[in-house]
Amino acid sequence: MQSRQIGRSGLSVAPLCLGGNVFGWTADEATSFAILDRFVDSGLNFVDTADVYSRWAPGHQGGESETVIGRWFKASGHRDRIVLATKVGMDLGPAGKGLSGAHIERAVEASLRRLGTDRIDLYQSHTDDAATPIEETLAAYERLIKAGKVRAIGASNYSAARLRAALDTAKREGLPRYECLQPDYSLAERAGYESELEPLCRRQGLGVIGYFSLAAGFLTGKYRSEEAAEGRARGGNVQKYLNPRGFALLGVLDAVAAEHGATPAQVALAWLIARPGVTAPIASATSLAQLDELIGAVSLTLNPAAIDRLTAASAGGIRA
């Protein structure tokens, strides 16, 4: 399995990232442990989470995912086999939000404690904070890097203008720069990333680890009607794809999957893995069967004609 570098960070990762948002939420601790064990045993090594996961769930406060991962590290002894990414900045209620130096330094200690580790390999700004000077944010990260608590930093949900400003500030002030971007990117959501962010990331040599790689499950093919989406944890997120353009894309996915002896989800991930500039798409699993399907995408090589058909079918995204 060929590894890929995250920007110029020196971090080497497999071409698929396991999303930890489901740990402690739709995957209980025992299931999460089993998924993480299988993931590592398959030769993969990149896990992404955030301090806010899964605050949206009733009775949760945030930190649930990090806590499960930390307990798995302790039980398995596999911390050194994982490139660990987490994020800071989303609203944690009484625990604060944003990218001020003070909040980052409080939040990283809480994340390290929950994760049961002494370092975070990739620490990401989960969302932009226009109220905090970029210099303050990057200086806080610099202190964490010098202290050995963080190895590299990244950005998530940034506009091209703000990402460019952060990169320019880092260069001008001699501060650490963001080494990767985590955008919403899939066959179903292309324009937001490809229009301005992709050229910037490729020009600057940033890694790209897109989230919602399966468009909240739409690209698995399991949501082909509003009835199918009702009552599911992410069903509301796929409603925007239930239109003629979305169904046409599913039709091409189905055809390519049949030609390659694969599933639509594997094809959707393989298309991303083959995209120039993409380091590793992020995908989540709530069962071993789902995980095995995701892992199968890593060894799936789409022929050029299939890639072209998928690219054409999804050109510009599929939303009206």
40-58 per-position pLDDT tens digit: 999 999 999 999 999 999 9
The reply to whether 84 falls in a domain is yes
Whether 117 has a pLDDT exceeding 70, the answer reads: yes
The reply to whether 284 falls in a domain is no
Tell how far CA 152 is from the center of its chain: 16
Whether 139 has a pLDDT exceeding 50, the answer reads: yes
The reply to whether 289 falls in a domain is no
pLDDT at residue 161, as a whole number: 98
Q: In this predicted model, what pLDDT tens digit does every residue of 287-312 receive, in sequence order? A: 999 999 999 999 999 999 999 999 99
Residue 319 pLDDT level (bands cut at 50, 70, 90)? very low
Cα–Cα distance, 238 to 253 (Å, whole number): 16
Nearest to 122, CA basis, from 69, 46, 175, 193: 46
The answer to whether 50 touches 65, Cβ cutoff 8 Å, is yes
Whether 227 has a pLDDT exceeding 80, the answer reads: no
pLDDT at residue 232, as a whole number: 56
The reply to whether 123 falls in a domain is yes
Q: Which residue has the higher pLDDT, 239 or 155?
A: 155
Return the residue matching tokens 């072209």: 308
Q: What is the pTM of this model?
A: 0.94
pLDDT at residue 223, as a whole number: 81
Range of 92's domain? Answer: 4-182
pLDDT at residue 238, as a whole number: 86
Whether 233 has a pLDDT exceeding 60, the answer reads: no
Does the annotation count 53 as an active-site position? yes
Number of domains observed in the structure of the chain: 1
Share of residues in the chain with pLDDT > 70 (%): 95
Share of residues in the chain with pLDDT > 90 (%): 91
How many C-beta neighbours within 10 Å does residue 78 have? 16
The reply to whether 250 falls in a domain is no
The reply to whether 258 falls in a domain is no
In whole numbers, what is the pLDDT of the chain averaged over residues?
95
Q: Could you give the count of Cα atoms lying within 13 Å of 194 in the half-sphere of its Cβ?
A: 15
The reply to whether 63 falls in a domain is yes
Strand stretches in the chain, DSSP E: 4-5, 12-13, 17-19, 46-48, 83-88, 120-125, 150-156, 178-182, 207-208, 282-283
The reply to whether 12 falls in a domain is yes
CATH of the domain at 83: 3.20.20.100
Residue 320 pLDDT level (bands cut at 50, 70, 90)? very low
pLDDT at residue 231, as a whole number: 55
Whether 5 has a pLDDT exceeding 70, the answer reads: yes
Pair of tokens at residue 129? 């904070």
pLDDT at residue 239, as a whole number: 86
pLDDT at residue 175, as a whole number: 98
Nearest to 158, CA basis, from 121, 117, 201, 119: 201
Whether 225 has a pLDDT exceeding 80, the answer reads: no
Q: Give the mean model confidence (pLDDT) for residues 109-120.
A: 98
